[in-house]
C-alpha cells in the first residue's frame, strides 16, 4: 500500500515552518539587535560589579533572552484570537498576581514589587503589562456595537485603573504609568470620542492635584516622599545635586562625556560606579558614555525600527481584536522607551521604568519578548489571510 503523501506530523512541521517564514523579519532583526546591544553593554558595564564573577549579569541576561526568544517563537505560532476567549481568566490572574506580591513579595528599597523564585525574581507588574493589553482589548471588542457610549469608556477605564492603582501602591509608579498608557492606547485605537478623552484628561489633572497638593496638606501620604522628590527633581537637578538630583546629574555627565564615539574603557562614570543602576534603569547612559552619539543613535534606531513594525502590525491586523492588542503593546513599548531615555537625558522624571530588552531583568525581558511574540502572531495570521485572498 502506498504511503500517504502528507502525514499529520509532516503537515504540522510544514505548517510550523510556513508560520515562522511569515514572521516580520525586520521586527525580528530589531529584537535581536537590541538584545545583542544589551548583552554587550551589560558585559562592559558590570565586569567589576560582582567580585570573582565578571560575567554574573551577562550569563543571566543571556538566559533570560534565550528563554524569552523560545517563548516568542512559540507564541508567534499560537492563534492570538484565542486569548479573547480567556479574558476573564487573564484579568483575574493579572489582579491575583499583583495581590500575591503583597503577601509573598520581598521588600527592597522600601518597595514590595517581586516574588523571589529559584532562578529569578518574578515581578508581576511586568507580566501584567502584557496581560492588561490582551484583556482590555477583549473587553473592548465585547462592546463593539457601543464603542462610543460613556458606559463603555467608563467600564474600560475602571478595568485599567484598578490594576494600575494596585501596582502604584506597591509602590511601583513607573509600571502603573505604563498600565495607564496601555489603557489610553486601547481607547484611542477603538475610536473613543475626543470628548471622553477630554473628560478623562480633566479627571487626571484633578487626581494629580489631589495627590501632590491636597492630600499632603491634609496629612495624607499618597506618594512616598522619595517618589515626590523624583517626580520634581528633573525640573531642577542642580538645586540638590547630592540627593534626588544625583542620579540625573551623573547620567547627564556620563552621556555628555561620551561625545561622538564614546570613551570605551575610560568610561569613568560607569566603571567607577558614579552612575547608579547602570545595568538597569540607566543603561542608556552607559551606552552614551561608552559608545557615544554613534552607539546611542544605533540603539535608538533599533527601537524606532521595532516600534515602526509594531505600528505596521496594528494596521494590517486581520480583525479588530488584533488591532487593539497591537495598539496596547505598541504603547507599552513606546512609553517605556520614551520615559526611560527621557529620564537619562533629564527631560523626564525618574520613575524606575526599564528600557525594553536593554535593561537587565528577567521579568522585563521575558514579558517584552512574549509581547513581541503576540505581535508576530498577529502579523503571521494577517499574512496568511492576505495570501488566502490572493493579495
Alpha-carbon distance of 134 to 129, in angstroms, equals 9
CB atoms within 10 A of CB 112: 17
Quote the mean pLDDT of the chain: 86
* Residue 105 per-residue DSSP state: P
What does the pLDDT read at residue 249?
85
**More confident call, 336 vs 385:** 336
Residues 6+ apart with CB under 8 A from 304: none
Residue 242 pLDDT grade (very low, low, confident, very high; cuts 50, 70, 90): low
In a domain, 206, yes or no: no
Residues 6+ apart with CB under 8 A from 54: 46, 47, 48
Residue 1 pLDDT grade (very low, low, confident, very high; cuts 50, 70, 90): very low
In a domain, 387, yes or no: no
Lowest mean pLDDT among 75-79, 115-119, 293-297, 327-331: 115-119
| Spatial contact of 298 and 102, defined as CB atoms under 8 Å apart | no
Alpha-carbon distance of 187 to 201, in angstroms, equals 13
Q: Is the pLDDT of residue 188 over 70?
A: yes
In a domain, 76, yes or no: yes
Lowest mean pLDDT among 205-214, 300-309, 362-371: 205-214
In a domain, 315, yes or no: yes
| Spatial contact of 161 and 132, defined as CB atoms under 8 Å apart | no
Alpha-carbon distance of 53 to 73, in angstroms, equals 31
Q: Is the pLDDT of residue 71 over 90?
A: yes
Average pLDDT for 148-162: 94
Cell numbers for 192, please give them. 473613543
In a domain, 366, yes or no: yes
In a domain, 340, yes or no: yes
pLDDT in tens, 313-350: 999 998 999 999 999 999 999 999 999 999 999 888 88
**More confident call, 366 vs 7:** 366
Residue 91 pLDDT grade (very low, low, confident, very high; cuts 50, 70, 90): very high
In a domain, 8, yes or no: no
**More confident call, 13 vs 264:** 264
**Total tally of structural domains belonging to the chain:** 1
Report the C-alpha dihedral over residues 343, 349, 351, 352, rounded to 10 degrees: 20
In a domain, 15, yes or no: no
Q: Is the pLDDT of residue 55 over 50?
A: yes
Instruction: Select from 127, 114, 132, 69 the least CA-distant residue to 324.
Output: 132
Lowest mean pLDDT among 72-76, 80-84, 218-222: 218-222
What does the pLDDT read at residue 5?
46
Q: Is the pLDDT of residue 110 over 70?
A: no
Alpha-carbon distance of 302 to 100, in angstroms, equals 36
Residue with cell 493579495: 391
Q: Identify the domain containing residue 76 by its residue range.
A: 24-192+224-382
Amino acid at each position: 500500500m502506498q504511503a500517504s503523501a502528507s502525514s499529520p506530523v509532516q503537515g504540522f512541521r510544514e505548517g510550523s515552518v510556513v508560520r515562522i517564514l511569515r514572521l516580520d523579519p525586520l521586527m525580528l532583526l530589531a529584537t535581536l539587535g537590541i538584545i545583542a546591544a544589551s548583552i554587550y553593554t551589560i558585559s562592559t558595564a558590570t565586569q567589576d560589579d560582582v567580585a570573582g564573577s565578571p560575567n554574573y549579569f551577562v550569563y543571566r541576561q543571556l538566559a533570560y533572552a534565550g528563554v524569552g526568544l523560545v517563548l516568542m517563537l512559540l507564541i508567534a505560532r499560537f492563534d492570538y484570537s484565542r486569548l479573547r476567549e480567556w479574558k476573564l481568566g487573564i484579568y483575574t490572574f493579572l489582579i491575583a498576581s499583583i495581590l500575591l506580591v503583597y503577601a509573598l513579595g520581598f521588600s527592597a528599597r522600601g518597595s514590595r514589587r517581586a516574588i523571589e523564585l529559584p532562578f529569578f525574581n518574578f515581578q508581576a507588574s511586568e507580566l501584567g503589562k502584557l496581560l492588561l493589553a490582551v484583556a482590555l482589548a477583549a473587553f473592548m471588542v465585547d462592546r463593539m456595537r457601543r464603542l462610543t457610549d460613556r458606559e463603555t469608556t467608563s467600564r474600560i477605564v475602571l478595568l485599567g485603573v484598578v490594576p494600575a492603582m494596585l501596582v502604584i501602591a506597591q509602590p511601583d509608579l513607573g509600571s502603573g504609568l505604563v498600565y495607564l498608557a496601555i489603557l489610553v492606547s486601547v481607547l484611542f485605537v477603538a475610536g473613543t470620542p475626543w470628548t471622553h478623552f477630554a473628560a478623562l484628561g480633566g479627571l487626571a489633572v484633578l487626581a494629580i492635584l489631589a495627590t501632590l497638593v491636597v492630600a499632603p496638606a491634609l496629612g495624607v501620604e499618597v506618594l512616598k516622599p522619595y517618589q515626590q522628590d523624583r517626580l520634581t527633581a528633573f525640573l531642577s537637578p542642580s538645586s540638590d545635586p547630592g540627593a534626588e538630583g544625583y542620579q540625573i546629574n551623573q547620567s547627564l555627565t556620563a552621556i555628555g562625556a561620551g561625545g561622538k564615539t564614546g570613551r570605551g574603557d575610560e568610561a569613568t562614570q560607569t566603571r567607577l560606579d558614579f552612575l547608579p543602576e547602570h545595568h538597569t534603569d540607566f543603561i542608556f547612559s552607559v551606552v552614551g558614555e561608552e559608545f557615544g552619539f554613534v552607539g546611542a543613535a544605533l540603539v535608538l534606531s533599533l527601537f524606532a525600527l521595532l516600534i515602526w513594525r509594531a505600528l505596521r502590525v496594528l494596521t494590517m491586523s486581520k480583525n479588530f481584536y488584533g488591532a487593539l492588542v497591537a495598539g496596547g503593546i505598541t504603547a507599552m513599548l513606546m512609553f517605556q522607551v520614551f520615559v526611560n531615555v527621557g529620564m537619562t537625558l533629564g527631560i523626564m522624571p525618574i520613575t524606575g521604568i526599564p528600557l525594553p530588552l536593554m535593561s537587565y531583568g528577567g521579568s522585563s525581558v521575558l514579558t517584552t519578548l512574549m509581547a513581541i511574540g503576540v505581535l508576530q502572531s498577529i502579523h503571521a495570521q494577517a499574512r496568511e489571510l492576505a495570501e488566502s485572498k490572493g493579495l
